[in-house]
Amino acid sequence: MPARVDLRQRALFAPEPGAAARDAEDGVALETLRTMAGKLAAHFGLSCTSIDAEADGVVWHYGICTTDGRIRIRLRHARTGRLLKESSLVDTLCHELAHLRYFDHSVRFRRFHERVLAEARRRGWYRPGPTRTAPLPAAACEISR
């Protein structure tokens, strides 16, 4: 006789409606980011060992990297759960790649981040909205110590 299936227990752990579509969308976004990361890392001589999605529920950063070359990127908007805009994802990727060379937010880091973004733009991957008329003052980007 087959084991009894507890439908209530199954319902508690069943994927939410649309989870398969969400997972597929995340998979496509990750593969695209991995392809971009591989090409940008090779272009700039960076050692990027992995690109993964940040865990659900993480809202205090868009991306994070480790000194061993692992990068995690938040793919979804914290409130709506929608996939972030491609330009935001690529900007985050470029930011984290730049950290693989400069593990801080120094002037050197910001300049290198701009170079990585420029290369992503040249390749047609980074297409942000209208640009600012003036750059932010340097003090707005510095970390207080």
Cα–Cα distance measured from residue 84 to residue 74, given in angstroms and rounded to the nearest whole number: 8
Reported confidence tier of residue 129, pLDDT bands at 50, 70, 90: confident
Q: Please state, rounded to an integer, the average pLDDT across all residues of the chain.
A: 84
| Predicted TM-score of the model (pTM) | 0.77
Contact 79, 59 (CB under 8 A): no
Reported confidence tier of residue 31, pLDDT bands at 50, 70, 90: very high
Phi, psi of 53 (to 5 degrees): -75, 140
Model confidence pLDDT, tens digit, residues 44-94: 999 999 999 998 888 889 999 999 999 999 999 988 889 999 999 999 999
Number of Cβ within a 10 Å radius of residue 119: 17
The span from the first CA to the last CA of the chain, in angstroms, equals: 67
Q: Which CATH code is given to the segment(s) 32-123?
A: 3.30.2010.10
* Per-residue model confidence (pLDDT) at position 142: 40
* Per-residue model confidence (pLDDT) at position 145: 35
* Per-residue model confidence (pLDDT) at position 11: 44
* Per-residue model confidence (pLDDT) at position 136: 45
- Residue spans per domain, the chain: 32-123
**The total number of residues written for the chain in this structure:** 145
* Per-residue model confidence (pLDDT) at position 15: 52
